[in-house]
Structure 1
């Protein structure tokens, strides 16, 4: 069961870096919280709405909830209970929905064409829940990975240890399924979201775990529908977006000597689709410098074309690169690599230049920004797309 995206256009605009916009534009000091952008749901709900509105006014067709780092473990580290975690995560969906309603009202008052705004439930990888965020490296502690992060020596692959990898997939599946259930079991929140975004996934076994978690969710949806009637619980389109910090996938090859290339990753996302392992509605690349996208997309397409018959449909492509700076998990801060000297216009031109060369492999493309991209970047992006 894979629900497909339905858009009126073949190019859709996603929002930009929500957490970094809270920090840069609204001057919120949130980097020390395990919850990062989600802490604003609790303390600055009005600013969360204003941030969503800033991206909508800039031209975003899809806005993402501020739930990227939400999990039971991050809420526990931040001092919140199980019940509070569920309430806060659902509140994030409501804040995005409020922003959408306000924006619709603005369009009506101004006589503007009404845009069909979608809300994406943002879910980061397991690495984003760790005390030293590891979504860019994939150094996960057992049973999620072979070894926790160390300042001396690290690894993110099990090599030939098949049992260890399978245990990791089971643990990661449970992690992602628990978070999905938080929103699914709140009927109001589930009805407000339009799609699900699994973001910045750094490991192929976590891609498999996400697919398995969605399979479990689909089973739950079917069970609820059978007792409550059709239409009560509806499956949502979803995407898996991967990160390539230096143009390579963070996961090492089995011999541990080199990082994977993009074509190595596609199989984990789409191979052998089944009820237990559904394939995503879209594949993505996020929080990666824009200059790497062209070659990465080409590698995606090369592998995807050979498996498209088994997939049974054309997926969408989601591209939302970062602003070019590098995240330091030790200091929990962004290191300026000179990218800020590049204008939003230059960034947007580079991104749209990538999408203009896409093959017919894709049903369409969703373009936006990740960390260190602002409403100004999204405004430039929409202007170029719709010029």
Structure 2
């Protein structure tokens, strides 16, 4: 499959050379392994190198790492544009197929096809995204253990079935370097920020349950969820170089209020903001018409948990993976709740709804299916399916999002906005939203 990354190296060895960039002699994918690169690549790639690691994590080689310039974009800008739905973009634009054999969903490409993953993220960077989220939304040690191996290596007593914890940690951390490289491939050497995508616990289950909140019994309290989130985030914290590249931690698609407490407790353990703790946001999913979380929590109750004293306050709070048609009433509820509950601190608002239009996602079949004429969330009797959908309408998604953003900005209830798309919002949608935002900014000067 041809993508932006492969095109960059056409005439210098093609796909095989690209894979040599990404694969070490021992077969482990690692972005920094440059031991077997044709010398022409060194001549062609006009970015500086540095020798800042004495040894690479994959022990088979020594390496020199591509030094990607420090991102200069200000994370405190009043409006930041996120990317869109990575997994659905891989399906729709890059021909990737997901199934029960790929429980990591987009994260599976960290193992199977990093160049294609980079191509998808580069498409969002080229479309104008200020922030790229890493391909780690569904990543977990359990998910890697359930993933059938694509090599012949038996590691850590796994007898060739699944990936061991140290391998999983390597792959998860590689997502950060791949996301950073997307800005470079898009020609934005000094213009992008990274968000570490950490989905809800339900996103790591099989089938996923982030739209229902139907969690395992051991996750019935916040302490169990805290253990899960703490263990996962420490995988990234332990790699100080990769961790330093993160501008935001994104806890996404949370369906139950106790998980909000769990992620805030997790951030508390990371130290003060000048040390290990970057800015973080919490976004929740509202799949039903009642404007409540799947566990029945109201927006007011949610905001109380998000902004209660005694724990690190989130940089932003909001909504993702939710129908665009529900965003206006939900945002109003968030604004009212923040004004009444937290007069001394107002976070930013983060919103990235679905762009699914005429489709709904069946988490049991793991397929996007046409929805009924009435739209909304569907439930097939007896199927066990959990379905969620987005708005249909005559206007393009990017135009509807622009109108929504304009309305929110005019009310002036938030110090800043982070806006983007979730499932089925692709690079073209983000590009249209970018263009509308830039046109409005130019007209106001």
Alignment of 1:69-148 (within 5 A): 69-78=138-147, 79-103=162-186, 106-107=187-188, 116-145=191-220
2:324–2:391 contact (8 Å) kept in structure 1: no
Partner of 2:378: none
Partner of 1:36: 105
Shift of residue 102 of structure 1?
Answer: 2.8
2:352–2:419 contact (8 Å) kept in structure 1: yes
Cα offsets for 1:273-296 (capped at 9, x unmatched): 22xx21211002001011110000
SS in 1 for 2:423: coil
Cα offsets for 1:114-148 (capped at 9, x unmatched): 5x310000000000111110000000111213xxx
SS in 2 for 1:121: strand
Shift of residue 205 of structure 1?
Answer: 0.5
Shift of residue 263 of structure 1?
Answer: 2.6
SS in 1 for 2:94: coil
Shift of residue 198 of structure 1?
Answer: 0.4
TM-score using structure 2 length: 0.70
Shift of residue 264 of structure 1?
Answer: 2.9
Q: 2-side partners of 1:9 and 1:278: how far apart?
A: 21
Partner of 2:13: none
Partner of 1:13: 81
Shift of residue 107 of structure 1?
Answer: 4.6
Partner of 1:202: 255
Question: Structure 1 residues 45 and 340 mapped into 2: Cα distance closer, same or farther (>3 Å)?
Answer: farther
The partner residue of 1:315 within 327, 347, 363 is 347
Cα offsets for 1:228-278 (capped at 9, x unmatched): xxx6x44211100000112433434xxxxxx3432332111112x22xx21
Q: Return the structure number with greater relative CO, CA threshold 8 A, min gap 6.
A: 1
1:19–1:371 contact (8 Å) kept in structure 2: yes
Question: Structure 1 residues 26 and 203 mapped into 2: Cα distance closer, same or farther (>3 Å)?
Answer: same
Partner of 1:332: 366
The partner residue of 2:339 within 305, 322, 325 is 305
Unaligned 5+ runs, structure 1: 109-113, 146-167, 223-230, 253-258
Question: Structure 1 residues 135 and 102 mapped into 2: Cα distance closer, same or farther (>3 Å)?
Answer: same
Q: 2-side partners of 1:71 and 1:335: how far apart?
A: 27
Alignment of 1:159-178 (within 5 A): 168-178=221-231
Question: Structure 1 residues 43 and 355 mapped into 2: Cα distance closer, same or farther (>3 Å)?
Answer: same
Q: 2-side partners of 1:293 and 1:77: how far apart?
A: 35
Question: Structure 1 residues 172 and 101 mapped into 2: Cα distance closer, same or farther (>3 Å)?
Answer: same
Question: Structure 1 residues 268 and 29 mapped into 2: Cα distance closer, same or farther (>3 Å)?
Answer: same
1:354 matches 2:401 = no
Q: 1-side partners of 2:208 and 2:324: how far apart?
A: 22
Partner of 2:90: 22
Q: 2-side partners of 1:8 and 1:82: how far apart?
A: 35
SS in 1 for 2:209: coil
Question: Structure 1 residues 304 and 118 mapped into 2: Cα distance closer, same or farther (>3 Å)?
Answer: same
Question: Structure 1 residues 25 and 341 mapped into 2: Cα distance closer, same or farther (>3 Å)?
Answer: farther
SS in 1 for 2:270: helix
Unaligned 5+ runs, structure 2: 1-72, 148-161, 376-389, 440-445
TM-score using structure 1 length: 0.81
Q: 1-side partners of 2:391 and 2:415: how far apart?
A: 33
SS in 1 for 2:294: strand
SS in 1 for 2:403: helix
1:245 matches 2:277 = no
The partner residue of 1:66 within 135, 140, 147 is 135
Shift of residue 332 of structure 1?
Answer: 1.2
Partner of 1:163: none
Cα offsets for 1:287-321 (capped at 9, x unmatched): 10111100000000111001223xx4331111100
Partner of 1:371: 423
Give the number of the structure whose residues are more often helix, by fraction.
1
CA RMSD, 1 decimal: 2.1
Alignment of 1:169-188 (within 5 A): 169-188=222-241
The partner residue of 2:298 within 253, 261, 280 is 261
Rg (Cα) greater in structure: 2
Q: 1-side partners of 2:76 and 2:286: how far apart?
A: 30
SS in 2 for 1:251: coil
2:338–2:346 contact (8 Å) kept in structure 1: no
Q: 1-side partners of 2:194 and 2:99: how far apart?
A: 24
